A and B are shown apart, each in its own frame.
Chain A
Amino acid sequence: MQTLYFILPELFLSITIMSLLLLGVFIKKSFKLISLLTNLSLIFAIALTLNQPNEIIKIFNDSYIIDPLSIFMKVLTMLFCFFVLFSSKDYIKSNNIDKIEYPIIILASTLGMILMISSYDLIIFYLGLELQSLCLYILASFKRNDERSTEAGLKYFVLSALSSGLLLYGCSLVYGFTGSTNFEIISTNLNESNTGAVFGIVFIIVGLAFKVSAVPFHMWTPDVYEGSPTSVTSFFALVPKIAAISVFIRFMYVPFLNMFSQWQTIIVFLSIASMILGAVAAIGQTNIKRLMAYSSIGHMGYALAGLATGTNLGIQSTIIYLTIYLVMNLGAFGCIFMMKRENIYYENINDLSGLSKNHPMMALSFLIILFSLAGIPPLAGFFAKFYVFVSVVEAKMYFLAVIGLVTTVISAFYYLRIIKIIYFDKPKKPFETNYDLGLKISLIMSSILILIYFIYPSILIDTISSILIY
């Protein structure tokens, strides 16, 4: 019984999912109620997670771990899940996807991610991964009457299933060559001469790279981002990245610690390729969701650059990067949710033309977010990149740093292009301004956080350096 106490948030979420499902079936037209309850239960689960002891606890035969890192990542996951739901209410309603399954599936996939974050065993890890992936397939094709959404779901399903297969194959290789699925035992049994296990690691990294959409496993990202309903896209862009990055960190720290030189090369390659592609391919895009897809590929490249150093500082910088990335993207998608005229949502960048005239405040927050995404000081995005480069230079990987900075300049171009459309072009018809409260709050919150981050940047570093107690 004692051990059950430590998985209280997970238990609570699972029970909520079941009971909400029942509730939704029995009460007709209960979308509003269900989404309200989902939001409340997320807040409650966050509170439960924060209540967990601030030490390393391993339960269920060392297959599940609760440590400060996992607590931080879980809170981040649920928090941004909450904000994604909170800010996309209007969109869901006007696109007729306000079915009760929607919040429940999101909740279920969040549960999967939480399991992934806390897993300390290959089997639990795979279980969590599959739970979240299955939910994501459904979400991608949630607007089932829409061709593009169905296509996105199918595409994502086929490719993701392939990557899951590779991942599973990798897991089985690692198990075969080390004799265990437990992370710690794997770590002790692994060494450089274990060629079979090296193959396993490569396959596992491929699977994880698919989840964070790092190049060359990014093919699905633009199509799925574009095809899915925007509310789902914003979920895709934010929440699964947290789980994937934290699993990356866990794998690098525990089971594969001894194989540092083997996986470092792969991650450096993934990082460089993602940064370059993210910068170059986004230039020609006209659809803002597609552009955000390439932008997120680029950003994951920077996050992986921190990881590639393999140092404590590097991991810290990755987590900081991820956190700031989440806040920026929340704001960016908030702006995309506001591109609405007469119940139709617009996705073309040119629809933003002259936004500054009709909606000065929205234009200003978009401006702040875009400059921050481009990494221009004194906004938060600059600090994110700064920490990464500090760790990269510390590890003497100057090549990676130079590539990263040059791609920053290239990617600045397409962010500037949006700013140009917003501020320099002739105004079009104004958008509707009856935003709901959640959208307003998330947009204002994220742009203010980005803007004032420079006043006290230590706060994030302090938190994050205290959670890495390896």
Chain B
Amino acid sequence: MNFPILSSIIFIPLIGALFILVIKGEKKIVVKNSQYVAIFSSLANFFLSIFLWYSFDATTSEFQFVEEKNWIKGFVNFKLGIDGISMLFILLTTFIIPVCIFSGINSIKFKTKEFFIAILVIETLMLGVFCSLDLVVFYLFFEGGLIPMFLIIGIWGGPNRVYSAFKFFLFTLLGSVFMLIAIISIYWITGTTDVIKLLDLRIPQEFQYILWLAFFSSFAVKLPMWPFHTWLPDAHVEAPTAGSVILAAILLKMAGYGFMRFSLGLFPIASDYFTPLVFILSVIAIIYTSLVALMQDDMKKLIAYSSVAHMGFVTIGIFSLTKQGLEGSIIQMISHGLISAALFLCVGVVYDRFHSRMISSYSGLVNIMPKYAFVFMIFTLAALGLPGTSGFIGEFLILVGVFKINIFVAVMSSLGVILAAAYMLWLYKRVVFGKTSNSEVKEMTDLNKTELYIFSSLIFLIIFFGIYPEPLFNTIDSSVNNLINNYQVDLNFHLDQINN
């Protein structure tokens, strides 16, 4: 395979962004043209990633489509490559970005050109995160995502946007700088930052604990885990719809991906040692944030807190280190990417029409916007994990996986499923049923064509993967097996060393 397909997938959006940057002329035409360029480049990327999936060999756990270029001489190579796990995240990213662009066309009224540039740049950086096979390259893309996201929240956000943008930026930056020291330390300990080589090498066990904590500080803030989650509700509430969608659907997943690829792969003994910590934090996250979500009167805040709870499931699944748990986590991340994106888009629909995110502003939407009510219902049910939707498969597998390891954690996190049903259904009841009191709400129009297309594609995927998740499992199966095998071998090696 000579064609650098991964580089093209990463850099096509960037080229699109450059195109938009140089578009000049009358304002209306500029907006139209930049829309076309953005849609075209993101859709082209989506189809390219489908092609990538098609040519992806799922039977092997080796990294595929590997590209390597001399970058920082004698120190870091620009290395890209994917395995089954990253494949799914690439697909998720390339699917969500066009959705964001379509929603941006509807809702972004000023600085449209810049908005599309920011979205496309963020796509490049996110894809870079999932493709990179070198720690420094990974860090570069991981941190670079802060710049466009800061601007998206700050420029197109709500009234309190400055505070949220700063909080988001500084929280995540502080978490990540420790990872940078850890990456540099890994270089001096092992002599390389190449992930493939590092997975074969064994990092000495005395360094692993501190390095694991440094990586954890970055991923725990990004994921976010309790108690580092406070930036997320603020960022979600203030961000424009498309920003929330990217944040919930893709940005948070980078941390889950990082846990799997780096924390488990590079520091097995430390992961084993710190598993109780992760379990405790995740269980608290699931129960506490679900309870907090019950009390919210802002729709976006409610969904943001529910994201934290769902991510709690993901970390439990990852650190259960069973095949079911890990595969469940990946499916859960993909399905949460779709469902939370859909829920934020649902909030965006009513926000665009009535400019309020408060639950109390709306009631009885079922009579005014029947299509909307139907769509919203499907997503609500998917979010609470109804069998037949993709949300169920992820949560179910995670619970199965963790049940083998720790019954207490499994029982406590099942409580989260009940609470999720409670807050989602109550939200749905308050918004959609009841009597419409506000006369302005009565004038709201139902979904238009673009919105209908976006939602139906999301519904299709959520239900399709809920009924027939086989394609997802096929893709990740051998990679996950390999991950667990490597982990066990490394762990036994280190344990032997300790015992001797």
What is the interface of chain A, defined by CB distance below 8 A to chain B?
Answer: 356, 360, 371, 376-378, 382, 386, 389-390, 393-394, 398, 401-402, 405-406, 408-409, 412-413, 416, 419-420, 423-424, 454, 457-458, 461-462
Bits for B19-57, please: 1 = Cβ < 8 Å to A, else 0. Answer: 000000000000000000000000000000000000000
Contact between B155 and A409 (Cβ–Cβ < 8 Å)?
no
Which of A360, A377, A382, A423 sits near B151, CB closer than 8 Å? A423
Is A393 touching B184 in the complex (CB atoms < 8 A)? yes
Asked if A405 and B180 sit within 8 Å, CB to CB, the answer is yes
A398 and B140 form a contact (CB under 8 A): no
B140 pairs with A401, CB closer than 8 A: no
- B contact residues around A378 at 8 Å (CB): 140-141, 144
Main secondary structure of the interface of B (DSSP, over half): helix
Q: How many angstroms from the CA of A224 to the CA of B198 in the assembled complex? A: 51
Main secondary structure of the interface of A (DSSP, over half): helix
Residues of A within 8 A of B72 (CB): 457-458, 461
Q: Please, could you name 30 A-B residue pairs with CB atoms under 8 Å apart, sorted by A?
A: A356-B155, A360-B114, A376-B146, A377-B139, A377-B141, A377-B143, A378-B140, A378-B141, A378-B144, A382-B140, A382-B143, A389-B181, A390-B184, A393-B185, A394-B188, A401-B181, A401-B184, A405-B181, A406-B174, A416-B150, A416-B166, A419-B154, A420-B154, A420-B162, A423-B155, A424-B154, A424-B165, A457-B72, A458-B71, A462-B73
Is B169 part of the contact surface with A, judged by Cβ < 8 Å?
yes
Contact A424 B73 (CB under 8 A): no
How distant is A379 from chain B, measured CB to nearest CB, in Å? Answer: 8
Given A394-B188, A412-B173 in contact, is the A458-B70 Cβ separation under 8 Å? yes
Q: Which of A398, A454, A461 contacts B181 (CB 8 A)?
A: A398
Interface residues of B in 135-152 (CB under 8 A from A): 136, 139-141, 143-144, 146-147, 150-151
* Docked CA distance A376–B143 (Å): 7
Contacting residue for B180 out of A389, A412, A416, A423, CB 8 A:
A389
- Inter-chain CA distance A419–B169, complex, in Å, is 12
Query: A394 to chain B: which residues have CB within 8 Å?
Result: 188
Enumerate chain B interface residues (CB-CB to A < 8 A). Answer: 70-73, 75, 111, 114, 136, 139-141, 143-144, 146-147, 150-151, 154-155, 161-162, 165-166, 169-170, 173-174, 177-178, 180-181, 184-185, 187-188
Evaluate whether A409 and B162 lie within 8 angstroms (CB atoms) in the complex, with A376-B144, A424-B154, A454-B140 already known. Answer: no
Q: How far is the CA of A371 from the CA of B75 in the complex (A)?
A: 25
**Contact across chains for A406 and B177 when beta carbons are under 8 A apart:** yes
| Residues of B close to A413: CB separation below 8 A | 166, 170
Q: Which residues of B contact A377 (CB under 8 A)?
A: 139-141, 143-144
Q: What's the Cα separation between A394 and B181 when bound, in Å? A: 11
CA distance A462 to B166 in the complex (A): 37
Q: With contacts defined as CB atoms under 8 Å apart, how many contacts are there between chain A and chain B in the complex?
A: 83
A455 nearest in chain B by CB position: B71
Q: How far is the CA of A128 from the CA of B9 in the complex (A)?
A: 55
Contacts of B71 in A (CB 8 A): 457-458
CA distance A405 to B136 in the complex (A): 16
**Closest B residue, CB atoms, query A420:** B162
The answer to whether A424 touches B155, judged by C-beta atoms less than 8 angstroms apart, is: yes
Inter-subunit contact A412/B181 (CB<8 Å): no
The smallest C-beta distance from A425 to any residue of chain B, in angstroms, reads 9
Q: Is the CB of A389 within 8 A of B184?
A: yes
Inter-chain contacts of A457 with B (CB < 8 A)? 71-72
B113–chain A nearest beta-carbon distance, Å: 9
Sample of 6 more A-B contacts, CB < 8 Å, known A398-B181, A405-B178, A416-B166: A356-B155, A405-B177, A405-B181, A408-B177, A420-B162, A424-B165
Enumerate chain A residues within 8 angstroms of B161, measured Cβ to Cβ: 424
Q: For A454, list chain B residues within 8 Å (CB).
A: 140
> A454 CA to B125 CA in the complex, in Å?
13
Residues on B with C-beta less than 8 A from A409 are: 170, 173-174, 177
Closest Cβ neighbor of B155 among chain A residues: A423
Q: Separation in Å of the B160 CB from the closest CB of chain A? A: 11
In the complex with contacts A413-B166, A423-B154, A461-B72, A376-B147 CB distance below 8 A:
yes
Q: A238 to chain B: closest CB distance in Å?
A: 25
B146 to chain A, nearest CB (A): 6
Minimum CB–CB distance from B279 to chain A (whole Å) comes to: 28
B277 to chain A, nearest CB (A): 22
List residues of chain A with CB within 8 A of the CB of B187.
Answer: 390
B157 to chain A: closest residue by CB: A424
Residue contact A393 to B188, C-beta cutoff 8 Å = yes
Residues of chain A within 8 A (CB-CB) of B144 are 376-378
A360 / chain B contacts, CB cutoff of 8 Å: 114
Nearest B residue (CB) for A396 = B188
> What's the Cα separation between A423 and B157 when bound, in Å?
12
**Residue ID in chain B nearest A393 by CB atoms:** B184
Set of chain A residues within 8 Å of B140, measured between Cβ atoms: 377-378, 382, 454
**Nearest CB on A from B498, distance (A):** 25
